[in-house]
């Protein structure tokens, strides 16, 4: 029967993330760059970064993140998979199709890939909520998976990272009910980009920081102009975190836009619960803001019934400010132990081993290539044959 979409609540019912099997600490990085470790720990707010093994990529990470959701809820009601990434592996085939196969899902599902730098997952989330409001019986699986790579010895090197977030979008969500309106902001600027012929991104650091903060202003002003909640009604804000200190800068920017002034300590207390995962994982592009959300929900704070802000930014640039209300029984849906185990299991590697992995590349001419098993995850990239990526489960 037809349903009035305005009467249907929609949002995130479950949230799970996965990261890689290796990590490089910033202490190890500092020993070889000569930079004081405080530049990393305090300057950008990072202490380590997730590094993928050769058999880990955006598909294996996304499948690892999604599997626990399918196991908990089943897949009978999933009708759509939306895969957001800016490190795509194919110019035609959606990476989500590989995930669909690895998870053994029904063929009666649409699968689409979305791209707009780090913003793509928020576009996927909004599309998913629109689908659910139209048909509350269906569920949508949103996947955000990326591996952030910059040139060796470049300014961006210390902000690298990798992770995937999986979200089950439903009517009457248990974790976070999305609110309206959204504030939007788009500007054509070359602050960060990666042409097809490059495996590492190009970035103008100062332009990127300025563009991010300008987008905070622009999206927030649009949000308020459309009747959004006043700043003081928000418990806190989850920001996209290419490095965690930028969230503190963004929060101060919002306060200034509202004519408010807080101490550094007050801002740190508001933002710190959102940074605990990103500061040890590094930048995960499309997944970054949703790792901030996971960190906040997994924290000791009692958030039930609170409204929180979310600021999503993708270079180039597109931004959105929106809000969500935390469910009264949200703790029953959390995966805090599993998330912390994902981080704790990573094997620290030496700087030399990191550089070796960074310089390895899969063949681009179709040459058959086998990849040895190294991942600790459930799924692996086994190799390439006839220009086709081969994926395998690592356990029954």
Closest CA to 138 of 15, 17, 8: 8
Active site residue 118: yes
Cα–Cα distances in angstroms (integers) from residue 244 to residues 25, 203, 279, 319, 338, in the given order:
15, 17, 6, 18, 22
| DSSP string covering 118-169 | BTHHHHHHHHHHHHHHH-TT-EEEEEEEEEE---TTSGGGGG-EEEEEEEEE
Please state, in angstroms and rounded to a whole number, the distance separating the CA atoms of residues 75 and 142: 13
The reply, when asked if residue 278 is annotated as ligand binding, is no
When computed from its CA atoms, the radius of gyration of the chain, rounded to whole angstroms, is 20
Selected catalytic residue, list 28, 54, 86, 157: 86
- Among 23, 54, 56, 118, which one carries the catalytic annotation? 118
Q: Is 9 left (phi over 0), alpha (psi -120 to 50) or beta?
A: beta
The answer to the question of whether 115 is labelled as a binding residue is no
Choose the catalytic residue: 240, 248, 251, 333: 240
> Active-site residue 86, yes or no?
yes
E strands within 149-300? Answer: 161-171, 176-178, 183-186, 192-193, 202-203, 237-239
Backbone φ and ψ for 302, nearest 5 degrees, come out as -90, 105
Do the annotations mark residue 212 as ligand-binding? no
Taking Cα atoms as reference points, which of 206, 221, 201, 191 lies closest to residue 314? 191
Q: Which residues are catalytic?
A: 86, 118, 240
Annotated binding-site residues read 150, 249, 283
Annotated binding-site residues for (3S)-3-hydroxy-3-methylglutaryl-CoA read 150, 249, 283
């Amino acid at each position: 029967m037809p349903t009035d979409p305005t009467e249907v609540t929609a949002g995130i019912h479950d949230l799970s993330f996965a990261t890689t099997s290796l990590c490089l600490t910033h202490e190890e990085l500092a020993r070889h760059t000569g930079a004081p470790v405080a530049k990393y720990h305090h300057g950008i707010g990072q202490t380590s970064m997730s590094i993928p093994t050769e058999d880990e990529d955006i598909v294996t990470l996304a499948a690892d993140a999604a599997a626990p959701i399918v196991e908990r809820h089943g897949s009978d009601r999933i009708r759509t998979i939306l895969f957001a990434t800016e490190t795509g592996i194919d110019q035609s085939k959606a990476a989500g199709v590989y995930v669909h196969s690895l998870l053994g899902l029904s063929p009666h599902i649409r699968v689409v890939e979305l791209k707009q730098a780090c913003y793509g997952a928020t576009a996927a989330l909004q599309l998913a909520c629109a689908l659910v409001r139209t048909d509350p019986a269906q569920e949508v699986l949103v996947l955000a998976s990326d591996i952030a790579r910059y040139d060796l010895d470049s300014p961006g090197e210390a902000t690298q990272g990798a992770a995937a977030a999986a979200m089950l979008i439903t009517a009457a969500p248990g974790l976070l009910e999305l609110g309206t309106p959204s504030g939007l902001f788009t500007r054509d600027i070359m602050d960060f980009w990666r042409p097809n012929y490059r495996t590492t991104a190009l970035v103008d650091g100062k332009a990127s920081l300025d563009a991010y903060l300008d987008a905070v202003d622009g999206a927030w002003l649009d949000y308020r102009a459309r009747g959004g909640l006043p700043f003081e009604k928000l418990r806190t804000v989850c920001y996209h975190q290419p490095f965690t200190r930028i969230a503190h800068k963004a929060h101060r920017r919002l306060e200034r836009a509202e004519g408010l002034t807080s101490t550094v300590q007050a801002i740190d207390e508001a933002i710190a619960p959102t940074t605990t995962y990103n500061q040890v994982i590094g930048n995960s592009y499309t997944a970054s803001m949703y790792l901030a959300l996971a960190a906040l929900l997994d924290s000791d704070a009692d958030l039930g019934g609170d409204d929180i802000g979310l600021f999503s930014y993708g270079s180039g640039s597109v931004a959105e400010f929106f809000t969500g209300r935390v469910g009264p029984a949200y703790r029953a849906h959390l995966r805090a132990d599993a998330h912390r185990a994902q981080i704790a299991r990573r094997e620290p590697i030496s700087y030399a081993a990191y550089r070796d992995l960074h310089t390895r590349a899969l063949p681009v001419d179709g040459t058959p290539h086998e990849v040895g098993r190294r991942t600790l995850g459930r799924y692996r990239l086994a190799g390439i044959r006839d220009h086709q990526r081969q994926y395998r489960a690592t356990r029954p």
